[in-house]
């Protein structure tokens, strides 16, 4: 064990003692982590969740609300002074203003405190009066979570794996050429290092756009405030046999280790290890649309993500958690408003199969997990349209590009998830008997009544699973 790990452990003991004391006597705090890969829907989710807790008319499945015990929800200054605040007001204005549009997505970690006044259930409620419960919502890029896998790897192992995955991919062409041209044993030349890192980052960006999720290091995609720094100026290289001091290989190896030490570990220490409940948002429809390779990649990424929630697996994390652990994890397929509700059970079944697979592969026996299909902000209405002698369940919305109304049929998801997951795992190039479309809808103009949040699908059920037992 290294000294840093011991210190991490001590900080956590002090912190958990403090939390226990404050929870017993004062006001409990539940830290809800919200993650998912870029464009999974984190920003829209948090914005709509908060708006739907402040105005709760659309939240009947949240038990405390259904039972009339949730008296008030209000925003408060967050407890962590150095973490950026989640820009709720700007995002809400984007979604519900006179010219509704999607807000800018998550680029870095941010936080928001929402406090609830809740009457305890049962006899106690009448006797003790309302309690205050704080929900600290922490938004962070899922890409950063995948970096956990780097902690167990040397620069050599990571280079070999990354290059092996890149070689069959067409989009990796320019980057692979740059790697071939580089001499890992030659003296480091900073402009060359920068060019290699840039070529690698460009490849990762394209891989993400193609729907692939195995994109480490996560900060190459979302650098936060680290853009341009040496910890982000490296790339995988072909193995050098006897790399000398000062060589490209040795310096990249050193920067890779610095990245783990200075970037990955602090994130896990300062943010991740303090989370009580976690929601992982997944753009499953987007991956299905992108094709079998993207769906299989998502399947693998979910295993990696779940692995991060099983502290026993990783010595560094075990030290951080010290027996404490995330108690519940919700995997939610977002943007379910692209589907008519008759297809929601099929989307949920696909999510359940992905979670089951991830659990099996991560050898997972940790927190309670659940899979769900949700839409944080419902941009469509449903319709049924006669087409070639049958009735197609469609959705209608306004197109993001033109603002024009459009009806949309995304294709029929199979009843049995294995009809998608098996060909994906076997490396099929495209779906055999179907195409799955997606469409970019804009948020609909809304006229909200007092006490009403924006329209959504199952946001109340998601919250009930996450924190219902604590309200």
Which stretches of the chain bind ligand GDP, using CB under 6 A?
36, 38-44, 102, 105-106, 334-335, 337-338, 375-377, 379, 440-441
The β-bridge partners of 117 are 72, 132
Q: Of 313 and 400, which CB lies nearer to ligand GDP in the complex structure?
A: 400
Q: Minimum distance between the CB of residue 47 and ligand GDP, rounded to whole angstroms?
A: 8
Q: Of 375 and 467, which CB lies nearer to ligand GDP in the complex structure?
A: 375
Q: What are the backbone dihedrals phi and psi of residue 325, each rounded to the nearest 5 degrees, phi first? A: -150, 165
Q: Minimum distance between the CB of residue 87 and ligand GDP, rounded to whole angstroms?
A: 11
Q: Minimum distance between the CB of residue 106 and ligand GDP, rounded to whole angstroms?
A: 4
Q: Of 36 and 311, which CB lies nearer to ligand GDP in the complex structure?
A: 36
Asked if residue 441 lies in contact with residue 37, where contact means CB atoms within 8 angstroms, the answer is no
Asked if residue 332 lies in contact with residue 281, where contact means CB atoms within 8 angstroms, the answer is yes
C-alpha span between 123 and 368 (Å, rounded): 28
Asked if residue 285 lies in contact with residue 438, where contact means CB atoms within 8 angstroms, the answer is yes
Q: Of 41 and 236, which CB lies nearer to ligand GDP in the complex structure?
A: 41
Q: Of 12 and 91, which CB lies nearer to ligand GDP in the complex structure?
A: 91
Q: Minimum distance between the CB of residue 112 and ligand GDP, rounded to whole angstroms?
A: 14
Q: What are the backbone dihedrals phi and psi of residue 258, each rounded to the nearest 5 degrees, phi first? A: -65, -40
Q: Minimum distance between the CB of residue 284 and ligand GDP, rounded to whole angstroms?
A: 13
Residue 250: how many CA atoms within 13 Å on its side-chain side?
Answer: 11
What's the sign of the alpha-carbon dihedral 305, 306, 307, 311?
Answer: positive
* Stretch (H or E) spanning 425: helix 418-425
Q: Minimum distance between the CB of residue 193 and ligand GDP, rounded to whole angstroms?
A: 29
C-alpha span between 316 and 268 (Å, rounded): 9
- Using CB positions, name the residue nearest to ligand GDP: 105
Q: Is 340 helix (H, G, I), strand (E, B) or coil?
A: coil
Q: What are the backbone dihedrals phi and psi of residue 134, each rounded to the nearest 5 degrees, phi first? A: -95, 130
Q: Of 144 and 441, which CB lies nearer to ligand GDP in the complex structure?
A: 441
C-alpha span between 220 and 196 (Å, rounded): 12
Q: Of 52 and 334, which CB lies nearer to ligand GDP in the complex structure?
A: 334
Q: Of 252 and 441, which CB lies nearer to ligand GDP in the complex structure?
A: 441
Which ranges of 103-229 would DSSP assign to H, the alpha helix? Answer: 122-128, 142-146, 155-166, 173-181, 190-209
C-alpha span between 65 and 63 (Å, rounded): 5
Q: Minimum distance between the CB of residue 264 and ligand GDP, rounded to whole angstroms?
A: 20
C-alpha span between 27 and 15 (Å, rounded): 15
Asked if residue 364 lies in contact with residue 306, where contact means CB atoms within 8 angstroms, the answer is yes
Q: Of 102 and 316, which CB lies nearer to ligand GDP in the complex structure?
A: 102
Q: Of 9 and 105, which CB lies nearer to ligand GDP in the complex structure?
A: 105
Q: Of 209 and 440, which CB lies nearer to ligand GDP in the complex structure?
A: 440
Q: Minimum distance between the CB of residue 372 and ligand GDP, rounded to whole angstroms?
A: 13
The β-bridge partners of 280 are 35, 331
C-alpha span between 288 and 298 (Å, rounded): 10
Asked if residue 352 lies in contact with residue 371, where contact means CB atoms within 8 angstroms, the answer is yes
C-alpha span between 407 and 32 (Å, rounded): 36
Q: Minimum distance between the CB of residue 51 and ligand GDP, rounded to whole angstroms?
A: 13
- For 397, which DSSP code? E
Q: Minimum distance between the CB of residue 16 and ligand GDP, rounded to whole angstroms?
A: 30
Q: Minimum distance between the CB of residue 337 and ligand GDP, rounded to whole angstroms?
A: 5
Asked if residue 114 lies in contact with residue 32, where contact means CB atoms within 8 angstroms, the answer is no
């Amino acid at each position: 064990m290294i000294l840093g790990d011991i210190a991490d452990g001590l900080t956590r003991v002090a912190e958990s003692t403090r939390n226990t004391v404050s929870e017993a006597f004062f006001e409990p705090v539940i830290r809800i982590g919200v993650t998912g890969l870029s464009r999974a829907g984190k920003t829209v989710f948090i914005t709509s969740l908060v708006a739907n807790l402040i105005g709760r008319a659309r939240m009947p499945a949240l038990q405390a609300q259904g039972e009339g015990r949730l008296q008030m929800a209000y925003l408060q200054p967050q407890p962590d002074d150095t973490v950026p605040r989640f820009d709720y007001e700007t995002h809400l204005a984007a979604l519900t203003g006179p010219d509704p549009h999607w807000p800018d997505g998550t680029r870095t970690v941010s936080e928001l405190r929402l406090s609830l006044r809740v009457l305890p259930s049962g006899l106690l409620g009448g006797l003790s009066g309302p309690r205050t419960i704080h929900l600290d919502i922490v938004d962070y890029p899922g890409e950063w979570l995948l970096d956990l896998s780097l902690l167990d790897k040397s620069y050599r192992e990571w280079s070999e794996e990354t290059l092996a995955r890149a070689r069959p991919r067409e989009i990796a062409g320019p980057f692979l050429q740059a790697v071939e041209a580089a001499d890992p044993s030659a003296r480091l030349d900073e402009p060359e290092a920068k060019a290699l890192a840039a070529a690698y980052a460009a490849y990762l960006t394209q891989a993400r756009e193609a729907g692939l999720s195995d994109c480490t290091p996560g900060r190459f995609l979302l650098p936060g405030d680290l853009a341009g720094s040496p910890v982000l100026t490296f790339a995988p290289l072909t193995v050098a046999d006897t790399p000398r001091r000062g060589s490209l290989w040795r310096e990249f190896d050193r920067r890779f280790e610095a990245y783990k030490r200075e970037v990955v570990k602090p994130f896990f220490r300062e943010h991740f290890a303090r989370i009580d409940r976690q929601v992982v948002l997944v753009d499953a429809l987007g991956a299905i649309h992108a094709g079998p390779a993207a769906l299989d990649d998502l399947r693998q990424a979910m295993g990696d993500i779940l692995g991060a929630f099983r502290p026993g697996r990783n010595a560094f994390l075990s030290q951080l958690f010290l027996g404490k652990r995330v108690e519940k994890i919700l995997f939610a397929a977002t943007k379910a408003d692209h589907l008519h509700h008759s297809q929601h059970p099929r989307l949920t079944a696909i999510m359940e199969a992905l979670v089951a697979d991830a659990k099996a592969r991560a050898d997972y026996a940790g927190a309670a997990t659940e899979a769900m299909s949700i839409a944080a902000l419902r941009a469509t209405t449903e319709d049924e349209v006669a087409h070639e002698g049958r009735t197609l369940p469609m959705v209608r919305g306004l197109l993001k590009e033109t603002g024009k109304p459009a009806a949309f049929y995304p294709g029929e998801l199979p009843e049995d998830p294995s009809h998608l997951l098996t060909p994906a795992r076997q490396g099929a190039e495209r779906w055999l008997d179907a195409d799955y479309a997606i469409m970019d809808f804009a948020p609909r103009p809304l006229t909200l009544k007092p006490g009403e949040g924006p329209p959504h699908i199952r946001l109340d059920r998601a919250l009930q699973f996450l924190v219902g037992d604590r309200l």
